[in-house]
Structures are given as structure tokens and as C-alpha cells.
Amino acid sequence: MTACLVLLPLLAVVLILMGYNPRRTTRITTALMLLAGIFLAALWAMDIRDGLSIAPVVLAKPEIRLGLDLYDGMSVIMMLLSVIVAFAASRSGDYEDRHSRLWNISILLIAAGALGAFISTDLFFFYAFHELALVPTFLMIGILGRGERRQIAWKVTIYLAFGSIVLLAGLLWLVSASGSSGLGFDELLQTSIPVEAQRGISLFLIVGFGTLVSLFPFHSWAAPAYASAPAPISMLHAGVLKKFGLYGLLRLHPLVPEGMRYWLDILIVLLIANILWVGFVTINQKRLDTMLGNSSVMHMGYIFLAFAALIEAGSELANPIAKPAAVLLMFGHGVTIAMLFGLADRIERKTGTLELRDLGGLASKAPGLAFLFGLAAMASIGLPGLANFAGEVMVFIAGFRGWHPGDFFGWVQIATIIALWGLVISAVYMLRAYRSIFQGPEARATRDADDLTMGERPPAIFLAFVLLAVGLFPNLLLGLVDKPEDEEVIDLKTITSSIEPATTGLHNRQPTTGN
């Protein structure tokens, strides 16, 4: 049954090539994908998993299976993110009739690639589905993008091709060092990789996945790509596809834990650069689209911080908050940035510009647009009651998991303290952008602008509802994350009580005296 999530968009591509109406086919398909995704997540939550997976053998030696399954709770959440953003993206943006087939086929292929990667249980198809999703991304930027679209398309191609090649080398090395006869995650997790090999493999995985995620200093492709791409492509890539790298690191970390720990200090420096360096670059942006693109890069640093906390702990048992924190923030960020890019496209079409200095007073002309954009901006900042807040709080708590007052700060704790300043940076650029666009005197560009039409509102309202639902009830998603064996369930009570050992240690600690 899980296979229908990938087969539906691929079947829709065939129907469009046969002459069926592209817009109608895409919208019906994404609606069916959304319903199927919610239904499968409900079955997972009720622990009804029989008959959901397929795993036909594609190649005997080495054994490669087309394994499609909801492997664990992280896979379920990323599947939900994919269908939610694909549903909203299919109803966002405008295009000329002569490009309708390319436009809709690209949306469907990116959705199919992302879903295939997140529900694959075999390393080969995990990689292959992601590469499938990259091809329409390049084409859409190069053919239908804005600005210097061809140069940007080539830059994106070079960067992501480099990351994919390095990643492929790391995956091949991992399989070779493991000695596994198959490429399934279950088979690989039963193997043991020598520590010396783990270090080299981990470096390849961090560089490969990191480039795809836009980890500093391999990040400069992302903001221009999102600014140039059509709105649905920016929504899908920034909201969903970029999470593939983080998903991959979390998935493969148990295979090379010592190798990842070897590079922990360098990774911490890079994620701090993502938060601070890219954060200050974001403040300096003069266009809304490039500001949102850099903002997306910046927020990846917080998810890498949760990953660093997991590396430092060594296992999910030692820090059971780190992985759920990363997954919850990936989901929240994906929905938020998709909503922001979709609304930025509406602003440009109604005013003719995204230059912040040329905008102003739009709230009086488009109050509905102002409200929805403000809600998404507050979610990006981390306002309580919205999805990002719960994820960010869990990340900060995960950074101090196991630390006691009186202990020296480790690198992860130092990075967590520094990362708090990123919240201030986010507030600065988001609130300034909102003021420039919607407040103040009416600008020439906004003089004839109108509000969102009834047909333009549903995608943003749908994403806003998701942000509110997960922000007010984060256990809707946390309850789907598999708890580690012999460990407590990760919920809000667990998160709150995780601070208690440190408080207890403060009361029980005896004063020390010097010699």
C-alpha cells in the first residue's frame, strides 16, 4: 500500500504525457497522495503495519530490493511533510499554457522522488529517488526561472552534482566496509564497520549530505536557486527535498557513530557558521526571495545542532530527545518555508516586485495576505504556538541533555548558547521585512495591489492550519517517532523532566575545595 505514494505521481506523469489536462491531473493526484499519506500515518499510529510494504528483488548479487515501507516514525513524518507540501505546491504559482506540461510534470517528479527517498528501505533506491527529484529542479530553474536563470541552474547543477558524487562514494565505501550482502537498512544495521573506515566514510557522508542540505561552506547555491525557481519548485525543494541530507545523516549515523564523533568539532564550527554567518548575510538582503532563501539555509544550522547532540551522546538511548527534535524541526521548517515562498510569489504577482525598498503599506490593500504572511513569519522566528517553536525548544534541551551545573561546557553546549542568538537574528530580518512590505506609507508598487482571491487562499490557509495544529499539539508528530528500546516515550512531559537531573545535581553536589 505504501508504494501507491510513489506510483500515483508517476502514473500522473504518464497521463499528462498522454494528453490529459495537466493542472487537473496534478491536483487530483496530490489530493489523493495527501489522503493516502494521512491514512497510512493513522495506520502507523494504531500499529497496523501488516501489508503496507513491498520489497521485490531487483538484483540478486548484491541484493537490491525495491523496498518501500514506513521504516520508522521519522520516515512517517517526512512522508507527511512531502505530501502536505506537494499538495500546497500544486495549487500555488502561475504558468503559461505552453509550459503547463513541464510545470506539472516537474512538480509530480519532485514529489515522487522525495517520497521515494523517504520511504525507501534500500540504500540504492534511497539514493536513486533523490537523484530523480533533482533533474526537474534543474530544468525548471533553467527554463522557467527568473533573473540569471541559466547561470544559476548551472551553479546548482555543479554544486549538487558534486554533493551527489561525494555522497555516492561514501555510500559505496560504507557498503564495502560493512561486508553486507544486501543494501537494506536492516541488513546494514546488523554489521560492524571498523573505526578507521568509519572516519573516512563519515567525512564523505558529511560533505555529500551537507552539500545537499546547504551546510556552510557548501551553501552558496541554495539562496539564488530558491530565488530564481518558480514558487512550487522553491516550496518543494526548500521545504522537502533539502531535508533529504539531514534525514540521511540521521538514518546512517548508527552505522558510523565513532566516525561521526571524530568530526564533531568541525561540524559544530560549520553549523555555527550556518546560524551566525548566514544569519547576518540574511539581514543584509534587499529582496524578499533571496532573504527567504538565506533564511532557509540559516535554519539548517539548528537541525545540525540536534544532530551534533546525538553524535556527542553516541546513541538515541543516551540522548532520546535529539532525533525527535531534529525531525520535528525539519517538519516545522518545511511547512513554514513552503508557505513563505508561496506567499512571496503572490506578493510579486500583485506588486510586480520583491525589492523591499519598493514595497510598503500592502496590509491596507491586502489584509488577508498580510495576516497569512505574518503568521508564517512568526513561525519562522519561533513564536510559541507554532510548529517551529516546539522543535527549537527540543533542540536547545537536547543540547544540554546530560549536562549538570558545575560541569564544564562542552562544544555542543557552547554551540547551543551561541545558537540562541540566531533567534534574535531571525526576528530582526523577518520583522524588518514584514514592516517594509506591509506597514508604513503606501508605495507606488502596492497602490493597485489587491488581496488574495478565493482561489489563491487555500494553499496558504492549509499550511497555516498545519503549523497551528503541530505547534499547539506537537505530540501529534512526536507520538509517531519510534521510542528507543527500553527508553521512555518522547512527549512534552519527558522534555520538561529532562531538565530535572541537572536541578537535582545542583542540590546534591558537594562544594569542592582546592588543594
**Residues 310-369: pLDDT tens digits?**
998 877 777 888 899 999 999 999 999 999 999 999 998 888 888 888 888 888 888 999
Domain annotation covers residue 170: yes
Domain annotation covers residue 510: no
Q: Between β-strands 57-59 and 64-65, what pairing exists: parallel, antiparallel or unpaired? A: antiparallel
Alpha helices in 400-491 (DSSP H): 411-438, 457-472, 475-478
Distance, in Å, from the CA atom of 318 to the CA atom of 459, rounded to the nearest integer, reads 40
Distance, in Å, from the CA atom of 395 to the CA atom of 320, rounded to the nearest integer, reads 11
Domain annotation covers residue 511: no
Domain annotation covers residue 108: yes
Q: Of 292, 278, 284, nearest to 354 (Cα)?
A: 292
Q: Of 117, 132, 130, nearest to 71 (Cα)?
A: 117
Q: Are 146 and 227 in contact (CB under 8 A)?
A: yes
Domain annotation covers residue 506: no
Domain annotation covers residue 513: no
- Burial class for 309, CB neighbours closer than 10 Å (0-12, 13-18, 19+): buried
Angle formed by the axes of helices 4-17 and 22-45, to 10°?
170
What is the per-residue pLDDT for 499?
47
Q: The C-alpha cell of 235 is what?
A: 516550496
Domain with 495, as residue range(s), is 4-501
Distance, in Å, from the CA atom of 405 to the CA atom of 357, rounded to the nearest integer, reads 48
Half-sphere exposure of 92 (CA within 13 A, CB side): 32
Domain annotation covers residue 512: no
- Domains identified in the chain, total number: 1
Domain annotation covers residue 33: yes
What are residue 120's DSSP bridge partners?
68
What is the per-residue pLDDT for 482?
60
Q: What is the pLDDT of residues 224-272, one digit of tens each?
A: 899 888 889 999 999 998 899 999 999 999 999 899 999 999 999 999 9
What is the per-residue pLDDT for 15?
93
Q: Is the dihedral of CA 99, 102, 104, 110 positive or negative?
A: negative
- Which residues of the chain fall short of a pLDDT of 50? 483-489, 496, 498-515
